């Protein structure tokens, strides 16, 4: 099986190094037009962001981003076959080496940058030139119609891809050092009723990693390719590689060549024509000399560009069966501001009443829907029940806690429900309600590092850190928090509960120092949720850590407590006691204490 056969068989996973949204989007548009069920781009190496939004067809998707190649997880890495390196010329060498060290079984890639230092380019040739198919430095990349697009080749607009008929495999290989002319030739071939078998922009820098000879040898060995179209220019000696291959019988398929730059003969001195090697250094590097050599060897080498286009038109086309694609919806796409998913499925509205009667429904429906919305996936009945228990027990803890107090004071100041709720919610933090997430972080750290509980407590204490999830003002050893006791029953539903066990082990250490340093409701729910999500819902260690990093666990306090705050707001509005102020006697006691030296 040749490399092109492997590509056509589905070896298409592309890891993008650097960020160029237009080029990445064009690859996704190619994938969709080609009828692929999933994008070929598997990830982007792009700084600190975790994801970047793109379109796949008319709909939006998020592509994962990673800070460096080493952080690409195995689940993503197993698909990687191609590199699209969009980084600067100075950075391209190091990142390319890192890529092939991590993915030695890859098939190749594309170096987009031009003016990569020549020492780097020649070293890349030495290391990878014989083993991988690499377009560039400089150019637009590689395309195999219906199968693979690496780079800007074929265009970056969906209408350009459609005009090039890149969803339909054909028989004509298109090869050029020039990126711009590669795209023009793809359009020219399509406009003349042909379809391409593959195309590659070798690159306009002096030292392309994959040589013209290698690309033409690939076309010769490809059963799908029946002819070759080549565009060259003055300077360099690439065309003499074609001459040599024809003379040695290594290139037997018809090849139509055009070499641009005869205008150079009109100047007193040779001119630089764009690319690094497009400058005549010796007589045999002129456009005319190379045209003559190609024609003499048996290639079709027209004297003018219109004649070149006619020669393309004369090539055999084979059977062309284009798939008719309506791209109008893709041309009118508008990106949403934030979310890429519909939190509530309005096509599946739950039924509560039918024929004038209540319909029997499964338990824990709100909790199930809420947690599913937060996680973006369905959850087990056990997790759903735990979340329902958490929601019911955390709705309120009395009117004396800071969040409820702020809500009530704001309500009595005449403010509306949203303002009053916001005032209450803004008090949630490390000292009130916001410790659930940090408790989860502590238990995750302890379990993942296989820490001894006593050593763990000692380490945190010496560092002057609070142990989130430990301690209560009201409850203590012998007077347990009934909510914690209710949560504890869920441990019996699990085969293993390492986070809960670690939390209890920490509690055994801390209560030995102070009876109030018990496992509190924050710590218990955090530990059990970690264990439940891992065992019952299949969350990996990395996914649990990600939930901690995005503060998921605090949501399990905020959601139910919001209802409690609203209840306090409604009560205050009903009672309408007017503006709240501290009692005068309290102020008098405070002033007397200050005068007496009390603090």
How far from each other are the two terminal CA atoms of the chain, in whole angstroms?
85
Q: Are 431 and 441 in contact (CB under 8 A)?
A: no
Q: Is the peptide bond before 137 cis (omega within 30 degrees of 0)?
A: yes
Gap between the Cα atoms of 553 and 532, Å rounded: 13
**Which tokens in the block code for residue 111?**
């170096």
Q: Are 294 and 238 in contact (CB under 8 A)?
A: no
**Which tokens in the block code for residue 449?**
């590092």
CB-hemisphere CA count at 13 Å for 519?
28
Three-state SS string over 100-155 comes to HHHCCCCCEEEECCCCCCHHHHHHHHHHHCCCCEEECCCCCCEEECCCEEECCCCC
Gap between the Cα atoms of 159 and 157, Å rounded: 5
Residues 285-310 as b or e (16 or more Cβ within 10 Å = b): bbbebbbebbeebebbbbeeeeebbe
DSSP secondary structure letter of residue 291: H
Which is catalytic among the residues 20, 110, 275, 368? Answer: 275
The answer to whether residue 397 is catalytic is no
Gap between the Cα atoms of 33 and 150, Å rounded: 15
For 229, the enclosing helix (H) or strand (E) is: strand 227-233
Computed on alpha carbons and rounded to an integer, the radius of gyration of the chain in Å comes to 34
Gap between the Cα atoms of 472 and 477, Å rounded: 10
Q: What are phi and psi of 128, to 5 degrees?
A: -125, -5
**Which tokens in the block code for residue 347?**
């096509």
- Helices marked H in 449-540 — which ranges? 453-462, 482-488, 498-510, 521-537
Gap between the Cα atoms of 525 and 342, Å rounded: 28
**Which tokens in the block code for residue 287?**
């456009």
Mind telling me the catalytic residues? 275
């Amino acid at each position: 099986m040749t490399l092109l056969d492997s590509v056509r068989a589905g070896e298409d996973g592309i890891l993008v190094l650097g960020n160029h949204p237009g080029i990445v989007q064009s690859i996704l548009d190619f994938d969709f037009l080609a009828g692929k069920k999933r994008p070929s781009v598997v990830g982007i190496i792009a700084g600190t962001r975790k994801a970047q939004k793109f379109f796949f067809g008319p709909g939006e998707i998020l592509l994962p981003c990673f800070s460096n190649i080493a952080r690409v997880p195995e689940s993503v890495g197993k698909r990687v076959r191609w590199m699209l390196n969009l980084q600067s010329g100075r950075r391209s060498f190091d990142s390319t080496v890192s890529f092939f060290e991590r993915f030695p079984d890859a098939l190749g890639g594309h170096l987009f940058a031009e003016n990569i230092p020549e020492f780097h380019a020649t070293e890349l040739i030495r290391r990878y030139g014989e083993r991988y198919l690499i377009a560039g430095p400089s150019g637009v990349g590689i395309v195999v119609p219906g199968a693979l697009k690496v780079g800007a080749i074929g265009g970056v607009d969906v209408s350009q891809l459609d005009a090039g008929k890149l969803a339909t495999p054909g028989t004509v290989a298109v090869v050029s050092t020039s990126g711009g002319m590669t795209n023009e030739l793809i359009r020219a071939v399509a406009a003349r009723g042909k379809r391409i078998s593959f195309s590659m922009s070798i690159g306009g820098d002096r030292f392309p990693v994959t040589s013209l000879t290698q690309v033409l040898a690939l076309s010769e060995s490809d059963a799908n390719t029946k002819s070759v179209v080549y565009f060259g220019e003055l300077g360099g000696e690439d065309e003499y590689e074609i001459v040599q291959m024809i003379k040695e019988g290594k290139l037997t398929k018809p090849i139509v060549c055009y070499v641009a730059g005869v205008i150079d003969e009109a100047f007193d001195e040779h001119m630089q024509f764009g690319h690094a090697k497009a400058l005549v250094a010796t007589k045999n590097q002129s456009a005319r000399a190379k045209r003559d050599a190609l024609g003499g060897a048996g290639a079709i080498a027209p004297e003018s560009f219109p004649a070149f286009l006619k020669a393309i038109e004369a090539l055999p086309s084979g059977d062309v069966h284009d798939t008719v694609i309506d791209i109008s919806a893709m041309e009118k796409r508008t990106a949403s501001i934030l979310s890429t998913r519909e939190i509530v499925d309005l096509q599946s509205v739950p039924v509560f009443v039918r024929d004038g009667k209540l319909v029997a429904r499964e338990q824990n429906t709100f909790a199930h829907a809420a947690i599913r919305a937060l996680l973006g996936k369905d959850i087990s009945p056990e997790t759903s029940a735990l979340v329902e228990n958490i929601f019911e027990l955390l709705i309120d803890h009395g009117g004396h806690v800071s969040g409820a107090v702020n809500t009530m004071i704001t309500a009595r100041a005449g403010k509306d429900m949203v303002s009053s709720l916001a005032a209450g919610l803004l008090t949630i933090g490390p000292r009130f309600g916001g410790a659930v997430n940090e408790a989860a972080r502590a238990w995750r750290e302890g379990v993942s590092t296989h820490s001894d509980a006593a050593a763990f407590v000692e380490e945190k204490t010496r560092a002057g850190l609070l142990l989130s999830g430990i301690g209560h003002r009201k409850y203590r050893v012998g007077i347990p928090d009934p909510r914690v006791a209710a949560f504890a029953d869920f441990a019996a539903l699990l085969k293993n509960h390492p986070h809960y066990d670690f939390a209890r082990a920490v509690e055994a250490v801390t209560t030995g120092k102070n009876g109030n340093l018990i496992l509190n409701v924050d710590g218990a729910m955090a530990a059990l949720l970690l264990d439940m999500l891992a065992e019952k819902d299949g969350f990996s260690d990395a996914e649990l850590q990600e939930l901690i990093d995005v503060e998921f666990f605090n949501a399990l306090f905020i959601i139910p407590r919001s209802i409690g705050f609203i209840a306090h707001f409604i009560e205050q509005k009903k009672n309408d006691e007017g503006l709240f102020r501290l009692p005068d006697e309290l102020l008098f006691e405070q002033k007397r204490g200050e005068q007496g030296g009390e603090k």
